[in-house]
Amino acid sequence: SAVISQKPSRDICQRGTSLTIQCQVDSQVTMMFWYRQQPGQSLTLIATANQGSEATYESGFVIDKFPISRPNLTFSTLTVSNMSPEDSSIYLCSVEDFPLAGGFQETQYFGPGTRLLVL
């Protein structure tokens, strides 16, 4: 499976500021995803980051608040803008993988996450 790293692993930020989270994969992948996990909750998809095109955002998430870049097939960034305490969450990137050569059965692996606390 792909090896995924995220930076930073954690941060404490002041409200009104922005934080950019980086996601790096050790192999080229077509689809990368950004998820949010609020305290005590399950994971919710923020957006799908596609190389060469704008990210696709889920209902409730907007580009002005969560701008995403995908400059190549191994890297993506998520920015959390104008932060408030409600943005305190774990932010996770994931990548799509097809374990079987030539197969269509997909799976997804997650990076280690970025733990964000907004004061």
Partner 1 sequence: QKEVEQNSGPLSVPEGAIASLNCTYSDRGSQSFFWYRQYSGKSPELIMSIYSNGDKEDGRFTAQLNKASQYVSLLIRDSQPSDSATYLCAVIGGIYNQGGKLIFGQGTELSVKP
By the rule CB under 8 A, 106 interacts with partner 1: yes
Pairwise CA distance, residues 96 & 33, whole Å: 8
Binding mask 74-103 for partner 1 (x = CB under 8 A): ----------------x-x-x-x-------
Q: Which is nearer to partner 1, 19 or 49 (CB)?
A: 49
By the rule CB under 8 A, 113 interacts with partner 1: yes
Q: Residues 91, 83: contact at Cβ < 8 Å?
A: no
By the rule CB under 8 A, 11 interacts with partner 1: no
- What is the SS3 assignment for 54? coil
Closest by CA to 118, choosing from 9, 18, 51, 28, is 18
DSSP state of 85: G
DSSP 18-53: -EEEEEEESS--SEEEEEEE-TT--EEEEEEEETTS
Q: Which is nearer to partner 1, 26 or 106 (CB)?
A: 106
Binding mask 31-70 for partner 1 (x = CB under 8 A): x-x-x-----xxxxx--x-------x-x------------
Binding site for partner 1 (CB under 8 A): 1, 31, 33, 35, 41-45, 48, 56, 58, 90, 92, 94, 96, 105-113
